[in-house]
Amino acid sequence: MTTSARTAMRTPERRLASIADAADYAACCGKTIRRRIADGTIRAYRFGKRSVRVDLDDVDGAMLEIPTAAAGRAARAS
């Protein structure tokens, strides 16, 4: 196996998107994505001087499910 093949096997596939595309994906404002980058919740990658990309898996990870009262009742019933 070549070195590049081993590296490709270990490197996870990234779904990179611009800040605007990530905001559309998460149904929020670009400022929200920038705030999450600033507080470290979402990692950003710079390409060149101006281009910034974020991993959509990080955007997914930043979203938290809000528990509902119905979910609590179902857990107590079982």
Digit-by-digit pLDDT tens for the chain (78 residues) are: 566 666 556 667 888 999 999 999 999 999 999 999 999 999 999 989 999 999 999 999 999 989 888 766 666 666
HSE, side-chain direction, 13 A CA sphere, residue 47? 8
Q: What does the pLDDT read at residue 51? A: 94
3 state DSSP class of 67? coil
* Residue 26 domain boundaries: 15-63
Q: What does the pLDDT read at residue 5? A: 60
Q: Within a domain: residue 70?
A: no
CA distance 11 to 26: 25
Q: Give the total number of structural domains in the chain.
A: 1
Q: Within a domain: residue 78?
A: no
Q: Within a domain: residue 36?
A: yes
The answer, as to whether pTM is greater than 0.85, is: no
Question: Pairing state of beta strands 51-55 and 16-18?
Answer: antiparallel
Distant-in-sequence, close-in-space partners of 24: CB < 8 Å, separation ≥ 6: none
Q: Within a domain: residue 38?
A: yes
